[in-house]
Chain A
Amino acid sequence: MPAGSGATAAPGRGARELGAAAHHLIALRVENRSGVLVRVAGLFSRRGFNIVSLAVAPTDDERFSRISIVVDADSAPLQQVVDQLDKLINVVSIRELSPAEAEQAELLLATVAVAIGSRDAVHLETLAAAAAAEVVDSDGQATTVRLAGTPEALDAFEDALRPYGIVELQRTGRIALPKLGRRGLG
């Protein structure tokens, strides 16, 4: 992540804030070249636009990658963010999605202070099953669970885990596709 003043990423920030009206999703298709992420992040930093979350991965076409950004639209008019991104030569196309129009997903991994075979472990398993999360690892001290889902579901699960004592928690940035029937250009 850029350390610059403008581009502040907030890891672990929940969907309560992410879903706020001022947050917008921008999906970029970029040329799969070195330095592209730096250009995008640098642009946010230089222009004082705030990044709330960021996810980068290759696409089905190896020439391109997808960068999904949640921007704080309060930090700059969305159109200005889009227009400035469009000026980056390596950015091939831009799709702007309001949260209501998007099918969104995120991934969470959390280690909680629940020892294998303990009484809490049973509760945790029930909780995980209810949330459609999986227990992926455990030992005499701790258990790691994994959940993929909507940002809201992850928020709720994160809250439910908190009483067990969160040792470590990581969430990926948000990815999104337009809801069917609302597909725009891009």
Chain B
Amino acid sequence: MQLTGAQALIKSLEEQGVEVIFGLPGGAILPVYDPLIDSSIRHVLVRHEQGAGHAAEGYAHVTGRPGVAMVTSGPGATNIVTPIADAYMDSIPLVVVAGQVATASIGTDAFQEVDTTGITAGITKHNWLVTDAADIPDVVAEAFHVATTGRPGPVLVDFPKDVANATMSWRPAAPVSLPGYSPPAEPAPEAIRAAAALIAAAERPVLYVGGGVLKAEAWDGLARLVEVTGAPVVTTLMARGAFPDSDPHHLGMPGMHGSYTAVTAMQRADLLVALGARFDDRVTGKVSAFAPEAKIVHVDIDRAEIGKVRRPDVAVAADCRLAIEALVAALRPLLAERPGGGAAGRLAPWWAQLEEWRRRFPFTYDRDGRGDLGAGRRSGRLLKPQFVIEQLRAATDDETILVSGVGQHQMWAAQHWRFERPRSWVNSGGLGTMGFAVPAALGAKVGRPDATVWAVDGDGCFQMTAQELVTATAERIPVKVAICNNAYLGMVRQWQHMFYEERYSEVYLSPDLPDYVGWAEAMGCVAMRVSEPEEVLPAIEKANDVDDRPVVIDFRTDSMEQVYPMVPAGASNDDIVVHPSQAGSPR
């Protein structure tokens, strides 16, 4: 069968099981958009290529399958650089197909030519420039293989226009053979034995759970590991949902804005079992002061993460699910020999300490806050962003997917939402990309049409990518967006408040400009504005009843609210700053 390169590309994508592509056409990728008309693959036409990338990420986050985005050369390719970097940081399987100028024009500064493979080399697991149409099936198969195996991540296929227009004799892809690529899978038995011995002997263990547990679908194994060890669990920003927040073993999120108990438990631990976590600076604080008494077991599929920040006592380079299962198997007999593990036995003193911290330092905020309310406010009570998130959670089920932007609202969402299910939390962790939420929510809804998808977004973030709500309306993707409109680039304002003597530089946005309700309505959404605490729940319920179009609620939240606790940048986790109402409490 003779196919054009463009047809071969679409056919190859179909053979990979692709059901949706997020993209936007242009000159160099034009040939590929023609056979797309006849394909079973759905195409979602975004309004900006950054939206295509984040939507594909959102899709991948909630389904575990690779997200696919397609863009044209030059500005199309550069517009998707941010999502590629985002996916690289957060290990999201993402396949980007970018149009490129014809091979003969490469290097001549042709119209809309950029060195796409050069630009993206440092932020992809790998990229390919296709120079021969006959290579297409193999390149696509390799791209999906690399994106989805080992530590997942983004890949890019640069696709010149003449290759798209060439003809080739179709043949299915050969089995992938990449001599330089062999991610680890099974853990080494001696490493598992050594790790199990440390866990069985620990008196103050903490299971430090990172995003790798979600990538490896290791949540069932994790639950069993907690069961056999009785050890406390912390879930990082990338791992929220990997272990239910309602389980008493869960101490919450560690890190700069983590719970006091999670942060302090790691500081005082005698053993950290890092599972698919990478000792990120936002978790460790000052590395030299991090968890000073802890031995480290580090399980990661990426060997380069092991020892990058902190030298482990036991290194387990393996798939997290297989490693956790092996650990459980090794621990069962060990712990059976020493009865009385867990909260009731050997770990009892540790749990007593943890419970005390938990009792004294829960997340808190001033629920009754009063202040300068501005015109038109009735009740005299400020609308607290944490309250909005609590009400949102109360009005939604465990299957609801929560997506967030980047800033204070993100931290409040991570703190105050009760996550019960894996893949119910979608956010930009490593790169911290403002503008992530709206397009990622759209992609998440496409991937999980059965689930309610709520985005909690900042007013600043919303303004970066809100136009994808046009996409959502046009494509009938009914996402819901709760804007925590504090009229500020709040997180930056918080740093200026704390570290720059309240000298506020370029962080004020205005609550009314833009008019979020008018803007949302113009994009085809149902839109509401909420200023009073008692209006919150009714508005959310009304939003939950809409299922044929997107909804935006402009929540006018307190501008002055700060995220607590906070470990100042570069400080030791021991210097965690708690909420002022808890500050007097001796530790």
Instruction: Point out residues on A near B: beta carbons under 8 Å.
Output: 30-31, 34-35, 38-39, 42-43, 46, 77, 79-80, 83-84, 86-93
Query: Which chain B residue lies CB-closest to A79?
Result: B307
Q: A80-B304, A80-B307, A83-B304 are in contact. Are A90 and B180 (CB under 8 A)?
A: yes
Asked whether A80 and B308 contact (CB < 8 A) given A87-B302, A88-B180, the answer is yes
With both chains docked as a complex, state the minimum distance between the C-beta of A79 and any C-beta of chain B, in angstroms.
6
A77, A80, A84: residue with the most chain B Cβ atoms closer than 10 Å: A80
A77 contacts which chain B residues (CB < 8 A)? 307
Contact A87 B117 (CB under 8 A): no
Do B179 and A92 touch (CB < 8 A)?
yes
In the bound complex, what is the Cα–Cα distance between A39 and B178 (angstroms)? 16
Looking at the assembled complex, report how far the CB atom of A166 sits from the nearest CB atom of chain B, in whole angstroms: 36
Instruction: Write out the residue numbers on chain B whose beta carbons fall within 8 Å of the beta carbon of A39.
Output: 121
| B20 close to A (CB within 8 Å) | no
Residues in A with CB closer than 8 Å to B476 are: none
Residues on A with beta carbons closer than 8 Å to the beta carbon of B146: 89
| Distance, CA A92 to CA B182, complexed state (A) | 10
A sample of 19 more A-B contacts (CB under 8 A), given A83-B306, A90-B180, A93-B180, is A31-B180, A35-B117, A35-B121, A39-B121, A42-B121, A42-B122, A46-B122, A79-B307, A80-B304, A80-B307, A80-B308, A83-B304, A84-B304, A86-B304, A87-B125, A89-B126, A89-B180, A89-B181, A92-B179
Q: Which residue of chain B is the closest to A92 with respect to CB atoms?
A: B180
Q: Bound state CA distance, A84 and B122, in angstroms? A: 12
Give the residues in chain B near A90, CB-CB below 8 Å: 180
A88, B178: Cα distance in complex, Å: 11
List residues of chain B with CB within 8 A of the CB of A89.
Answer: 125-126, 146, 178, 180-181
| Nearest opposing residue in chain A for B123, CB measure | A46
What's the least CB distance linking B281 to chain A, in Å? 15
Name B's A-contacting residues (CB within 8 A). Answer: 117-118, 121-122, 125-126, 129, 146, 178-181, 302-304, 306-308
Q: CB-CB < 8 A to A46: which residues of B?
A: 122
* A31 contact set on B, CB distance < 8 A: 179-180
Closest beta carbon of chain A to B246's beta carbon, Å: 38
Per the bound structure, the CA–CA distance linking A90 and B127 in Å amounts to: 11
For A39, the closest partner residue in chain B by CB is B121
What is the minimal beta-carbon distance from B135 to any residue of chain A, in angstroms? Answer: 12
Residues of the A chain whose Cβ atoms lie less than 8 Å from the Cβ of B117: 35
Complex CA gap A35/B118 in Å reads 8
Complex CA distance for A90 and B180, rounded to whole angstroms:
6
A79 to B308, CA, bound (A): 9
In the complex, what's the smallest C-beta–C-beta distance from A22 to chain B, in angstroms? 18
Q: List 17 A-B contacts (CB under 8 A).
A: A30-B180, A34-B129, A35-B117, A35-B118, A38-B121, A39-B121, A46-B122, A79-B307, A80-B304, A80-B307, A86-B304, A88-B180, A89-B126, A89-B146, A89-B178, A89-B180, A89-B181
Select from chain A the residue with minimum beta-carbon distance to B117: A35
A30, A39, A89 interface centre (most CB from chain B within 10 Å): A89
Residues in chain B near residue A30, CB distance under 8 A: 180
Query: Contact between A91 and B307 (Cβ–Cβ < 8 Å)?
Result: no
Complex-state Cα separation, A89 to B178, whole angstroms = 7
List residues of chain A with CB within 8 A of the CB of B129: 34-35
Chain A residue nearest in CB terms to B181: A89
CA separation between A43 and B124, bound complex, in Å?
Answer: 12
* Smallest beta-carbon distance A87→chain B, Å: 6
Residue of A nearest to B126 (CB): A89
Q: CB distance A83 to B179 under 8 Å?
A: no
Contacts of B179 in A (CB 8 A): 31, 92
Question: Cβ of A79: which chain B residues have Cβ within 8 Å of it?
Answer: 307
- Decide if B180 touches A91 in the complex (CB within 8 Å): yes
The distance from the CB of B176 to the nearest CB of chain A, in whole angstroms, is: 11
Closest 4 CB pairs of A and B: A83-B304, A92-B180, A89-B126, A83-B303
Q: Is there contact, CB below 8 Å, between B304 and A87?
A: yes
Given known A-B contacts A31-B180, A35-B117, A91-B180, A86 and B303 have beta carbons under 8 A apart: yes
Decide: B307 and A38 in contact? CB cutoff 8 A.
no
Q: Within 8 Å CB of B304, what residues of A? A: 80, 83-84, 86-87
Query: Chain A residues with Cβ under 8 A from B118's Cβ?
Result: 35, 38
A residues less than 8 Å from B307 (CB atoms): 77, 79-80
Q: Which residues of B contact A91 (CB under 8 A)?
A: 180
- Bound-state CA distance A30–B179 (Å) is 10
Question: Which single residue of chain A is at the shortest CB-CB distance from B153?
Answer: A87
Nearest neighbor of B127 in chain A, beta-carbon distance: A35
CA gap between A77 and B302 in the complex, in Å: 16
State the CA gap A30–B178 with chains docked (Å). Answer: 11
Q: How far is the CA of A77 from the CA of B179 in the complex (A)?
A: 26
Q: With A and B bound together, what is the CA distance between A88 and B126 in angstroms? A: 7
What are the residues of chain A within 8 A of B308 when measuring CB–CB?
80, 83
CA distance A34 to B121 in the complex (A): 13
Q: Which residues of B contact A92 (CB under 8 A)?
A: 179-180
User: How far, in Å, is B43 (CB) from chain A's closest CB?
Assistant: 29
Q: A43 CA to B302 CA in the complex, in Å?
A: 16
Least Cβ–Cβ distance between A77 and chain B, in angstroms:
7
- List of B residues within 8 angstroms of A87 by Cβ: 125, 302, 304
- Report the separation of the CA atoms of residues A90 and B306 in the bound assembly, to the nearest whole angstrom: 22
Which residues of chain A are near B122, meaning CB under 8 Å?
42-43, 46
Nearest residue, chain B, Cβ from A30: B180
Determine the chain B residues whose CB is within 8 A of the CB of A80 once the complex forms: 304, 307-308
Q: Which residue of B lies closest to A77 (CB)?
A: B307
Counting chain A CB atoms within 10 Å of each CB, the highest count among B179, B180, B304 belongs to: B180
Q: Which residue of A lies closest to B309 (CB)?
A: A80
Q: Which residues of B have CB within 8 Å of A86?
A: 303-304
